[in-house]
Amino acid sequence: MNSETPIPPPPADEAPLKLPDLNTTLLDAAQVEQLLRDIELCAQITEIIPKFAARGHVPDTAAVTITQARELFAARSVRGLQLRYHYEGADWWDTLMLVGDQFRLVRIRHDFSTVPGAGTGSGPSVLAD
């Protein structure tokens, strides 16, 4: 398809694409430790990916353990971490980014299943109201 060929609209009977909701908050070091502990004890961790540089891609072999993730943040030797885990029937991706003395948490719930309504939890308690 070239740039002069228009993209056809979706069929009228098809629901529009809904993107997953993002949740974001700032955490201090104690709250990050609590989050890591909650995920470690209550979820099935599938992958933890460190982000070392401001630009560039992370190699496929860059995954770390939860212990290594704690050490990297304690030493401030990463810009961020993405924790991917399974919790209450859903896949969650928490991205933690170092922002001064705090950490920005961006949480997204992915539903990779084809079953509508599967996994309706809200993730571990850090973002609870």
Rounded distance between C-alpha atoms, residue 83 and residue 99, angstroms: 17
Q: pLDDT tens digit string along 20-36?
A: 778 899 999 999 999 99
- The answer to whether residue 15 sits within a structural domain is no
Confidence of residue 17 (pLDDT cuts 50, 70, 90): low
According to DSSP, the residues that pair with 95 across neighbouring strands are 82, 106
Mean pLDDT, residues 56-78 taken together: 83
* Residue 1 within any structural domain of the chain: no
Does the residue 44 lie in any domain?
A: yes
Domain membership of residue 122 (yes or no) is: no
Q: Provide the residue range defining the domain that includes 43.
A: 22-112
- How far apart are alpha carbons 123 and 129 in whole angstroms? 12
* Domain contains 84: yes
In a domain, 125, yes or no: no
Residue 90 lies in a domain: yes
| Total number of domains in the chain | 1
Q: Which residues contact 66 (CB under 8 A, 6 or more apart)?
A: 36, 39, 40, 45, 48
- Summarize pLDDT for 38-65 with one digit per residue, the tens: 999 999 999 999 988 766 666 666 789 9
10 located within any domain: no
